[in-house]
Amino acid sequence: MAGSITPYNTAAGKRYRVRYRKPDKTQTDKRGFKTKREAELFLASVTVAKASGGYLDPAEGRKQVAVFAEQWKTGRLASLKPSSRAAMETSWRVHVAPRWAARTASSIRPSEVEDWIASLSRERGAQTVRRAVFVFSSILAIAERDGVIARNPCKGVALPAKRPKPRRYLTYRQVELLARHASDEHADHVYELAYGGTRWGESVALRVRHLNFLRRRIRVEDNAVIVHGVYEIGTPKSGKPRDVPMHPFLVDRLSARCIGRGPNAFVFGDGIVPAPYPHATSGWFAKAVRASQADDSTFPLITPHDLRHTAASLAISAGANVKAVQRMLGHASAAMTLDVYADLFDDDLDAVAAAMTAARAEAIA
């Protein structure tokens, strides 16, 4: 075996020291073995680990999780979109660091991670817990990749199930009602969201140059997200620009908004900065919803994002195929659109059955 074993005396009696070379050829040792047999077994395990590529440096294993968190911040985190980066940083600071930052990576056991998840789940929602575990796992993946730990203790742990939020859709009449109560200042914004299917951040990032009135198209190539109270402009969620329809009745309304504004002015708001997100209870959108509910007892409690769902619903009910809806919404694939809005395609089964029945009757008549 490549190494040596030497005895030495302590106040507690004879002990043994093992000297060996690490894979990088530097020399190290481990002491404190009570018997020569224990020392020999350790040296044998080191020799096998080096030969098989499974050697773990004890000194590296004593690095704290906070060290790998810094590598995670400058590496993986730096490539994320501003909103995602802010969410991950908050999760680390609030949920992960207080429990794990000072722990050595090699000392963490899967059972401890499971206890942490259970404790966090009693206080936080499933999405918050899952994000925290993702952050912690991503940090420990760096330690695993560098050979500091043999296996990421977050792998295979049970996570709380996500409960999808119920989607709420408006009818054409309800969109009109909401737009009327939103006042002229915000009605155009309601129409663009409800018929264009853009996300809020994509909508408020629209500039005059993104509107093609001749082709009746809206070019979605930017996304405005609030990070630490300030809008940051980035790319859409998919990372790719797309075109969405500008419905004929919107051409005059949107063109009127662009009068006197340069090509880089924002369409909604004052033109200088993106329109602020309305307050959840006292903003213009919430007030318009309450006023609409007073006029229509079936009007659901919605957020601005529900207008994106409404656009999908209205498009599908009008007979749009799934590929067209996918392009409008900017989903990565038609399969994703079907997964997200599977409930909207239920009626298609009845339509298919009716069409096939009619075709059969004609064929065998």
- Tell me the per-residue pLDDT of 23-39, one tens digit each, with 9 for 90 and over: 767 777 788 888 889 88
Looking at residue 352, its pLDDT comes to 62
At 132, list the tokens: 């925290």
pLDDT(1) > 60: no
Q: Give tens-digit pLDDT for 209-252.
A: 999 999 999 999 999 988 877 888 888 888 889 999 999 999 99
User: What number is the average pLDDT over the span 87-97?
Assistant: 95
Q: What is the mean pLDDT of the chain?
A: 88
CATH of span 172-349: 1.10.443.10
For residues 98 and 133, is the Cβ–Cβ distance under 8 A?
no
Torsion region of 229: left, alpha or beta (phi above 0 gives left; psi -120 to 50 gives alpha): left
Q: Which residue has the higher pLDDT, 29 or 139?
A: 139
Residue 19: pLDDT band by 50, 70, 90 thresholds? Answer: confident
Answer whether residue 51 shows pLDDT above 80.
Answer: no
Question: pLDDT tier at 135 (50, 70, 90 boundaries)?
Answer: very high
Q: How confident is the model at residue 52 (pLDDT cuts 50, 70, 90)?
A: low
Tokens at residue 7, please?
């005895």
Dig out the tokens for 87 from the structure: 């969410």
Res 81: pLDDT: 81
- So where are the chain's domains? 4-55, 65-145, 172-349
- Does the pTM surpass 0.85? The reply is no
Q: What is the CATH number of domain 65-145?
A: 1.10.150.130
- 264 close to 163: Cβ distance less than 8 angstroms: no
Task: Calculate what percentage of the chain has a pLDDT beyond 90.
Answer: 55
Q: Is the pLDDT of residue 349 over 70?
A: no
- The rounded distance, in Å, linking the Cα atoms of 149 and 58 is 9
